[in-house]
Structure 1
């Protein structure tokens, strides 16, 4: 069973998932704090390069299975045209302005 976007507790994370699933680069970029960072499977990545390759150019999509820590930790079935489907974990740091300063993802 998956959670709908509307069921996600944290509004910034909810908007992140919506932007990914819509392939909306502008909405996604607007969610990120200046200088935002990310990691994938414990390795620091260039955020712009990674998101273009792993999300936008490859049709990335997140189906959230569960959330924790007020919606800032997710387990999701993530799929794209490059790697197919995999169970992933996501952790978000959100600033007081509601913008995401960091996210970490990796296989769950």
Structure 2
């Protein structure tokens, strides 16, 4: 059963990933958004293309923190298969300004 994120910016991020919608994904992000994967800063654009859009990435959210900014999800893409992941978001002015992801 998929849990819906309570923060609107995080919900938009997850919906965009699951729809494979690059435009909606970019709209959910602040213009200067950053990210890290397993503790290493990554180029967000290159990472998203490789891990989400060209590999059919999708998130099945299992749990969301009380503030709506941290979630646990089964993340699946055509490259790596499925893995349990943790996502932590920073939201600024209604858009994701930073996110951290990694194995949970």
| Shorter-chain TM-score range | over 0.9
Displacement of 1:37: 0.4
**In 2, distance between residues paired with 1:8 and 1:54?**
21
Count of residue pairs the alignment pairs up: 104
- What is aligned with 2:52? 55
TM-score normalised to structure 2 length: 0.96
**RMSD (Å) for aligned C-alpha atoms:** 0.9
TM-score normalised to structure 1 length: 0.93
The runs of 4+ residues in structure 1 deviating greater than 4 Å are: none
- What is aligned with 2:21? 24
Q: Flag structure 2 segments of 5+ consecutive residues without an equivalent.
A: none
Q: Name the structure where helix makes up a greater proportion of residues.
A: 1
Q: Flag structure 1 segments of 5+ consecutive residues without an equivalent.
A: none
- What is aligned with 1:102? 98
